[in-house]
């Protein structure tokens, strides 16, 4: 029972945060190259979640890549560094991994 309430609380908090993060992704031009469920220039957020969600430290690793760029993980096209703070990168990494 306690657990159920905790879960409901968390998911309520989470949906608010998810919305703010979607706005952040838009503001930071992530959506120019990424869509939730199809490849554009970069992989879809669903594909990223499918590949990364089970990995230890995935959130921190993705946050670093969001900030500094990424290459040779998904194909020939690299992701350039993005103009985000560490905090924004962490928020976006967490948000990307909510795409199931």
Decide: is 90 part of the binding site for ligand HEC (CB under 6 A). no
Decide: is 32 part of the binding site for ligand HEC (CB under 6 A). yes
Least distance from ligand HEC to the Cβ atom of residue 100, Å:
15
Q: Which is nearer to ligand HEC, 41 or 60 (CB)?
A: 41
Burial 28-60 (b: 16+ CB within 10 A, else e): bebeeebbeeeeeebbbbbbbbeebeeeeebbe
Q: Which of 14, 22, 28, 59 binds ligand HEC (CB under 6 A)?
A: 28
Q: Which is nearer to ligand HEC, 13 or 50 (CB)?
A: 50
d(CA 64, CA 94): 12
Length of the chain counted residue by residue: 100
């Amino acid at each position: 029972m306690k657990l159920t309430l905790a879960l409901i609380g968390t998911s309520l908090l989470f949906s608010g945060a998810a919305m703010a993060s979607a706005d952040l992704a838009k503001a930071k031009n992530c959506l120019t190259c990424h869509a939730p469920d199809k490849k554009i220039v970069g992989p879809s957020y669903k594909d990223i979640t499918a590949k990364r969600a089970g990995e230890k430290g995935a959130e921190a690793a993705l946050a670093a890549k969001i900030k500094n760029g990424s290459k040779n993980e998904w194909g020939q096209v690299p992701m350039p560094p993005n103009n985000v703070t560490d905090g924004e990168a962490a928020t976006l990494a967490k948000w990307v991994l909510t795409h199931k």
